[in-house]
Amino acid sequence: MKLSFLLAQRQALLRQARLAHLAHAYDRLDDFARRVARARLRGEVHLQASAPESGNYHASLTALQGAQSVVEEHFTENDIIDLASVITDVTGQLELDLNFPIEELESRFQAPLRQQLEQAGVSIDDREDPTMDSTPKGSVDPTRREDHG
């Protein structure tokens, strides 16, 4: 590969890298939003990114409504670090420190990314709705009883 070719492709490569970064953020937020929906999590949370210079060495997700144990049941420390990192990237807030209803994770953070990606010509692979029955068609749901009477 020649240097002149790379230089000629620079703008296109930068655009693709930006779109890949947005796609990664969208995918991670999609995962978090699905987990929130599946677990039917609700209530105000406080998300804070790590800021070692101010003595905060770990990202945190704190339940302001409901039980903290529920948050801890559904999100590991690494999940919270990942979530804070993605939302920091999405919002551009380097010192992330915000409150929001956890059920609005999708509408507040993921939906704007979807709009940016679609405006750039990226088609989003829609996945199955997490609130829908996930039993594959043609298979038997073991919790469903057939009425043979």
pLDDT for 13 equals 93
> What pTM does this model have?
0.75
Dist CA 141 CA 134 (whole Å): 9
Q: With 60 as the cut, is the pLDDT of residue 7 above it?
A: yes
148 vs 56: CA distance, rounded Å: 61
Give the span between the Cα atoms of 34 and 120, in whole angstroms.
Answer: 24
Q: What is the DSSP letter of 124?
A: P
Confidence of residue 95 (pLDDT cuts 50, 70, 90): confident
Q: Does residue 80 contact residue 61 with C-beta atoms inside 8 Å?
A: yes
User: Beta-strand (E) ranges in the chain?
Assistant: 44-48, 60-63, 97-101
Chain center to CA of 120: 20
Confidence check: pLDDT of 14 > 70: yes
Q: Is the pLDDT of residue 10 over 50?
A: yes
> Confidence class of residue 145 from pLDDT cuts 50, 70 and 90?
very low
